[in-house]
Structure 1
Amino acid sequence: MKKSLIALGATLACLGSVHAQSSVQATGLVDVYVGSMRLAGNAKSTSVVGSGGMTTSWFGFKGTEDLGGGLKANFLLTSFFRADTGAPGRFNGDPFFSRDANVGLSGNFGSVSLGRGMAPNFLPTILLNPFGDSFTIAPLVLHANLGTTAVPGTTPADTGWGNQVVYTTPVFGGLKANLHYQFGEQAGKGGKNNTGLNVMYFGGPLTVMGFYENAQISNPIQSLFGAKKTDWMVGGAYDFSVAKVYATYGKAKTDGAGDDRKTFSLSGEVPVMNGVGAIKASVARTKMDNTDVRRTTTSVGYDHNMSKRTDLYAVYMRDQLTGVNSGNSLILGIRHRF
């Protein structure tokens, strides 16, 4: 009996040790705004209570396990939702775990993950403008992902890719890269796929980034494109302490379609009240190569931190498109991280 108790105690001690080396965290963000929205070409403004004024609302779980020797297992299961109505996803039909659904290993070699995760375009786009990942009022993000009939968006296959393998290099003097490959999962040889990479450098006040994508598959619901789509962007930011400036330039096209688009953006951010708040401004312009059609979007706003997890924001946006009426939008919102 005594030996059995000793064995049981040793087993429980081992289980406790394993548990101490593992962690699972519930995490997420809720962002809701009220305002008046009108994009270029819309006949009238629409008064709304909307979700995701500055960041798309999401929730989920992330975890890691220390496997020893510097090796770790990691997973992410996160889902978008619309906090204004409680509906799941960014839109009807969006997969439940459309933000992240992946598992992988990390160590001195970098990391490898399998499943759904960020596309190559996502991090450079959101980190090189002061409005971050706002799909509502960030000019660069709108031009990349929410185009018009006259000026299509430059992102060919969503901001996240499914069925992908991602390798992230270790950091070398502030420089790292992510290599992406999305399987098309068609039988036989010569199947279609998505490939891409991004490179990011963080060196004190200087940030430099770029990405390239070669897309043959749509996302988040996969289907095959009739023609190959490519896009790339380079840009940088410099923090002068009193102000931070951003600039980007990129190009997108569909093979054989004659729809080449060039996008330029310039932005700035000025901290105020000892960093408690920030004044933000950004402009993006996309021009169609084969026509004189241009889309120019400008946003000016203020973001105020109530705490480390909660902020209030107000943003005015003007959207202009060749040949149609301009649109003016104004939103006031609150964002909370947990």
Structure 2
Amino acid sequence: MKKSLIAMGAALACLGTAHAESSVQLMGLMDAYAGSVRMAGDADRTSVVGSGGLTTSWFGFKGTEDLGGGLKAGFLLTSFLRVDTGSPGRFNPDPFFSRDASVSLSGGFGSVALGRGMAPNFLPTILLNPFGDSFTVSPLVLHANMSTVGWPAGNLTTPADTGWSNQITYTTPSFGGLKANLHYQFGEQAGNSGKSNIGLNVMYFGGPLTLMGFYERADISNPVPPNSLMNRKSDWMLGGAYDFGMAKAYLTYGQAKVDATDFTGKTFSLGAEVPVLNKAGAIKAAVARTKATTGPGEATRTTASLGYDHFLSKRTDVYAVGMYDKVTDLSSGTSFVVGIRHRF
């Protein structure tokens, strides 16, 4: 009897240990704003309540399990959300888990993930501008991903969305602050035989200095479905940031090319972030300029934003941003938004 009780106690202890080594977390971010928006070339100004003023709203789950010997298994299931309407996704046909849907193994070798996840362009783009991953007011993100009326077709410097489906991602360990992510996306559909997206990014974090770069070659569009692009498109970007204490400065330069249509897009961006009120708030400023050429045609787009972000707590901040947008031969546009962002 005594031996049975000891055995039962040992088994319960093992169960407790196993439970402690596994975790599942609910997480997310809600961002909503109100304002008046007019992009370059728009005929009229639009008054809006929108979602994702500074960060695209999202929620989801992540989990890890310690497999022993330094090996861990993990998963990510996260979905974009439009707070203004309650609709899932960034737009109507967006997959439900279009932000992340992957399973991974990690250890001393780094990590390998299978499924949908970030494209190589995403992290360098959002970490090298003061407005982060804002698809509403970040000049660099807008030039990479959002077109405007009258802007040359194929102008976007991101060739195949900020996330890739059907991909294998290998992340190296960190070597003195230097690490890299290698991405390969399969075609996986009829008509996409032999087609793929490949890319990598390299990131260095060394005290106040951040250096990053990425390269992508895309044959497949994203996210729904991963159909073949009409023409192969490639893009790259290099940039850095330096925190001087009283201010943080950002600088990037990149190019996108489509050889079949003789398209070239060259984008240069500058940014600055100045902490105020004992770092409870920050003044943010950024400008991006893209020169696009397609054969004999040429156009330039310039976008500039100035804003203030104030943290009410570690999880909640409020912000106000004004933006100017101009495209060659089109009327300029100005926008102003105020919003609130909450993390959980």
- Tell me the TM-score normalized by structure 2: 0.95
Compute the displacement of 1:198 (Å). Answer: 0.2
1:59 equivalent in structure 2: 59
Moved runs in structure 1, 4+ residues, more than 4 A?
1-8, 186-190
How many correspondences in the alignment? 338
Contact 2:187 2:193 in 1 (8 A): no
Q: Distance in 2 between matches of 1:186 and 1:42?
A: 37
Distance 2:7 2:87 in 1: 51
Residue 219 of structure 1: aligned partner: 222
**CA distance in 1 between partners of 2:127 and 2:244 (Å):** 16
What amino acid sits opposite 2:92 in the alignment?
N
- The separation in 2 between residues aligned to 1:285 and 1:46, in whole angstroms, is 24
Question: Is 1:272 the equivalent of 2:273?
Answer: no
Compute the displacement of 1:31 (Å).
0.2
1:71-110 matched pairs, under 5 angstroms: 71-110=71-110
Equivalent position of 2:194 in the other structure: 191
Bigger Cα displacement from structure 2, 39-48 vs 254-263: 254-263
Task: Output the amino acid matched with 2:299.
Answer: V
Letter in 2 for 1:30: M
Higher mean C-alpha displacement, 189-198 vs 167-176? 189-198
| 1:97-128, Cα deviation, whole Å (9 max, x unpaired) | 00000011111111110000000000000000
Q: Helix, strand or coil for the counterpart of 1:165?
A: strand
1:159 to 124, 143, 162: 162
**Where does structure 2 lack aligned partners over 5 or more consecutive residues?**
none
- Whether contact under 8 Å (2:208, 2:243) holds in the other structure is yes
Alignment of 1:197-208 (within 5 A): 197-208=200-211
Does the Cα contact within 8 Å between 2:192 and 2:227 map onto a contact in 1? no
Q: 1:175 aligns with which of 175, 178, 184?
A: 178
Partner of 2:325: 319
Distance 2:288 2:192 in 1: 41
What is the letter of the counterpart of residue 312 of structure 1?
Answer: V
- Alpha-carbon separation, structure 2, partners of 1:185 and 1:91: 23
CA distance in 2, matches of 1:58, 1:87: 11
* Structure 1 residue 8 displacement after superposition: 4.2
Native 8 Å contact 1:186 1:192 kept in 2:
no
8 Å CA contact retained: 1:185, 1:191: no
In structure 2, the residue matched to 1:127 is 127
For the residue of structure 2 that corresponds to 1:124, the secondary structure is: helix
Structure 1 partner of 2:292? 288
Query: Residues 145 and 161 of structure 2 are in contact (CA less than 8 Å); yes or no, is this contact kept in structure 1?
Result: yes
Q: State the Cα RMSD in Å.
A: 1.5
Structure 1 contact 54–136 (Cα < 8 Å) conserved: yes
Per-residue Cα deviation, 1:244-303 (whole angstroms, up to 9, x for no partner): 110100000123112211000011110001111000000001101353410000000000
Q: Who is 2:50 aligned against?
A: 50
The answer on whether the counterparts of 1:317 and 1:329 sit within 8 Å (CA) in structure 2 is: yes
Distance 1:187 1:293, change over 3 A: closer
2:19 corresponding residue in structure 1: 19
Match of 1:229 in 2: 233
Report the 3-state secondary structure (helix = DSSP H, G, I; strand = E; otherwise coil) of the residue aligned with 1:293. strand
Match of 1:256 among 253, 256, 260: 260
What fraction of aligned residue pairs are identical, expressed as a percent?
A: 72
Match of residue 340 from structure 2: 334
